[in-house]
Amino acid sequence: MNGLWRRRLWRALLSVGALAVLYGIASEIGSALLPRRIWMVMHYLEDVELLPPYRSLLEEAVFLIQSGILPRSVLVSTARVFEGLVFGAAVGVPLGLSMARAARLECLLDPWVTFFRFTPALALLPLYALWFGFGELSKILLIATAVAVVTLLGAYQGARDVPRVYLEAARSLGASKGLILRKIVWPAALPQIFASLRIALGLAWVTVVVAELIKATMPSLGYLLALAGAYPRVPTIAVGIVTIGLLVLACDTVALGLYAVATRWMKRSPARA
Amino acid sequence: MRLAEAPRPPKARRVWLGLASVVALVAAYTLLSNAYRVVDPSLLPDPIRGVLRPQILPPTQRIFDAFVQLVGAGTLPPAGTYVHTGDHIGGLVEQRVTLQGSLLVSTYRVLIGLAVGGSLGILAGLLMGWSRAVDEYVHPIYILFRSVPPLALITYVMLWLGHGTAHVLLPIIYAVFTVVVIPTYHGVRDVADVYVKAARALGAGGGLLLSRVVLPAASPFVLAGLRYALIIAWMTTVGVEMLMADDGIGYLLVGGGMWSSRLEVAGDPAVIVVGIVALALVGYAMDAGVRVAGDRLTQWVKR
């Protein structure tokens, strides 16, 4: 097992390292060969580095960090993602669980859930901007909507997949509805809820980037990208993209870890599958 | 499996309750949105006064009007008479942006994304699931790329490709690709594995193994991935069109403008609602199509 993991790690480092070296070579050649003046629809863009070499990326990263732009943007955008995640899950999970338990509620809500499932959350952005303004609220609500739909479906599916035998056994032993929810439905639905939260987290990041691209204010990653794209300053774009990528990766890793912790009771044998 | 689930009410009752809930909510909305005709909103307390305006909650009949106007926008204005209207729907009609035309353009983009991104994703998933060496080398790179939201790339992609068809399509293809890889990978690696061992023991190999064992075993997972990819493709398409494109349903939603100043024109909620409902219906129809086709293709799976 240990040797297997070591080989995996070694190969991962090798391929990512090879990619990094390749980019380094390509950018060194590219910065000499690629045009720095680009015709863009209506005018020329001056001094564009299509493939910025590592030193200009490093320079840019140091500047963005030292000036506080990047740290503040990261904080603001991450806060939005998590506020949206908390609000959305707070609506989606209870609704999904109760839909799975109450048949009449399910029938009543079903058309609306389907409607929101097939409505791309981003399409709601103009409507939310109109209703809640261009400020914080419309961004967070947009993320919350995307999250709520996904977590609702996850919680619903999780609670529906609880074997009927468990429920009937508990009922015949005299368990109250609250106890059944707490001790049977909730733990059984938890893996699905966590899985849906992980998907929702990815969606939340997609949503926040676009919500921030439109009419945003400065400390935010989406607007950083939009501004850098307008100039255009490729090193800034690259640092922004890498930062978002790393944040998404970090969030996903944490979500996976939480999922593993929350579903530890499911593993019957100590050996990893 | 069916026995294990909680009981469900009969189908007729489900349909009836669902229909009733839709009718009730639409009726309630119609009453609420028309309330401004009866009560003077300026007399009401603050939050209600702000909400109960036709500019915020468009009356149902106005939404229907907007629908009719948008569907007929291609034919209505006779050439030559050029009346400049500053509002959302006026601008769209002026540019002859129709609802069906926008939907068609967006659907086309989604389909291209699914076709190109889907086949690349399935290919990558197959390779990664099939060969452990490929998995160990390529998976880390895939995870790095997957972490970047496709829409974050558009400003950079525009510098390379200019502002055009490829620039709009690339993020959609990329989004579909990253979504389809994982279900295919799991289908091939985890599910097909048992059958592959059995088939190998019986002497199958190469093309036979791939076409008769691996692909059928993985196909339910690939199809599930494609259904999710459909939702992601629509999301990305709408996002790209809102930010950058000059046509499509996303453009209709924001009513045009230069990409950097989109949404500065006060949007018309009636147009936006029409666009959203159309998106939901098309998304639902396409999903149903994939579902039905998928059930046909994988009839042998126990349901």
Q: Report the pLDDT value the prediction gives residue A126, as an integer from 0 to 100.
A: 86
Q: pLDDT class for B26, splitting at 50, 70, 90?
A: very high
Chain B residue with minimum CA distance to A102 = B8
**Which residue reads 């990893």 in tokens?**
A272
pLDDT tens digits, one per residue of B268-301:
888 889 999 999 999 999 999 999 988 888 777 7
Closest-approach residue (CA) in chain A for B153: A241
CA-to-CA distance for B221 and B230, rounded, in angstroms?
Answer: 14
Q: Is A193 exposed, middle or buried (0-12, 13-18, 19+ CB in 10 A)?
A: buried
The answer to whether residue A33 sits within a structural domain is yes
Q: How many CB atoms lie within 10 A of CB B54?
A: 15
A198 shares a domain with A140: yes
> For the residues B180-196, what does the mean pLDDT come to?
85
Does A123 have pLDDT greater than 50? yes
Query: A30 and A85, same structural domain?
Result: no
Q: Which amino acid is residue B80, in one-letter code?
A: G
* B30: CB partners within 8 A, 6+ apart: B59, B60, B61
Amino acid identity at B192: A
Task: Give domain status of residue A8, yes or no.
Answer: no
In a domain, A268, yes or no: no
Q: Considering Cα of A89, then A244, then A115, then A135, what sign does the dihedral take?
A: positive
The rounded mean pLDDT for chain A is 86
Task: Place B256 in a pLDDT band, splitting at 50, 70 and 90.
Answer: low
What angle do helix axes B269-297 and B99-130 make, rounded to 10 degrees?
Answer: 40
B230, closest residue in chain A (CA to CA): A118
Task: For A83-133, give the DSSP string.
Answer: HHHHHHHHHHHHHHHHHHH-HHHHHHHHHHHHHHHSS-GGGGHHHHHHHH-
Query: Same structural domain for residues A85 and A167?
Result: yes
* Inter-chain CB proximity A215 and B13 less than 8 Å: no
Q: Which residues contact A81 (CB under 8 A, 6 or more apart)?
A: A143, A201, A204, A205, A208, A251
Among A22, A113, A122, the residue to mutate for chain B (most B Cβ within 10 A): A122
pLDDT-derived band at B83 (thresholds 50, 70, 90) equals low
Per-residue pLDDT band at B261 (split at 50, 70, 90): low
- pLDDT tens track for A207-264: 998 888 766 677 888 888 888 877 788 888 999 999 999 999 999 999 888 888 877 7
Q: What are phi and psi of A218, to 5 degrees?
A: -60, -65
Q: Is B258 on the interface with A (CB under 8 A)?
A: no
Judge whether A6 lies within some domain: no
Could you tell me if A114 and A31 lie in one domain? no
Residue of chain B whose alpha carbon sits nearest to that of A15? B137
- A195 belongs to a structural domain: yes
**What distance separates the 2 farthest-apart alpha carbons in chain A?**
78
pLDDT at site A244:
92
CB contact under 8 A, B56 and A130: yes
Same domain (yes/no): A71, A42:
no
Distances (CA, A) of A206 to A29, A201, A225, B114, B153: 33, 9, 13, 19, 11
Distance CA(A119)–CA(A111), nearest Å, equals 12
B1 pLDDT tier (thresholds 50, 70, 90): very low
Same domain membership, residue A100 and residue A27: no
Range of weakest confidence among A44-58, A129-143, B1-15, B112-126: B1-15
- For residue B74, pLDDT over 90 is answered with no
What's the pLDDT at A16? 93
Please, what is the average pLDDT of chain B?
83
Tell me how many domains chain A contains: 2
Same domain, A47 and A97: no
What is the per-residue pLDDT for B131? 87
List, in sequence order, every residue forming a beta bridge with A45; answer none if it has no partner: A38
- C-alpha distances in Å from residue B189, one per residue of A12, A41, B130, B252: 19, 46, 6, 43
- The mean pLDDT of A12-38, rounded to a whole number, is 86
Q: Are residues A44 and A115 in the same domain?
A: no
On whether both A23 and A137 belong to a single domain, the answer is: no
**What domain range includes position A200?**
60-262
Say if the Cβ atoms of A134 and B263 lie within 8 Å: yes
Contacts across the A-B interface (CB distance below 8 Å): 196
Q: Do B141 and A163 touch (CB under 8 A)?
A: no
Q: How much is the average pLDDT of B75-86?
A: 56
Q: Is residue A7 part of a domain?
A: no
DSSP 8-state code for residue B147: T
Output the domain CATH number for residue A171. Answer: 1.10.3720.10
Q: Kindly list the residues from chain A whose CB atom is less than 8 angstroms away from the CB atom of residue B233.
A: none
The pLDDT of residue B191: 74
Instruction: Give the closest-approach CA distance of A39 to chain B in angstroms.
Output: 8
Asked if residue A86 is part of any domain, the answer here is yes
- Ordered by where they begin, the domains of chain B are 93-297 (1.10.3720.10)
DSSP of A43-70: EEEPS--SS--HHHHHHHHHHHHHTTHH
ipTM of the complex: 0.88
Phi-psi region of B162 (alpha: psi -120 to 50; beta: other; left: phi over 0): left
Per the domain annotation, does A121 fall within a domain? yes
Identify whether residues A235 and A200 lie together within a single domain: yes
Measured in residues, chain B has a length of: 303
Place of tokens 């690629």: A34
**Mean pLDDT lowest among A67-71, A92-96, A178-182, B37-41:** B37-41
**pLDDT confidence band for B172 (50 / 70 / 90):** very high
| CA-based radius of gyration for chain A | 24
The distance from CA A156 to its chain's CA centroid, rounded to whole angstroms, is 21
pTM (2 d.p.): 0.89
**Burial status of residue B281 (CB atoms within 10 A of its CB: 0-12, 13-18, 19 or more):** middle
Same domain, yes or no: A170 and A228? yes
Using one digit for the tens of pLDDT, what is the confidence trace for A132-153? 877 788 889 999 999 999 999 9
- My answer on whether A167 and A32 are in the same domain is no
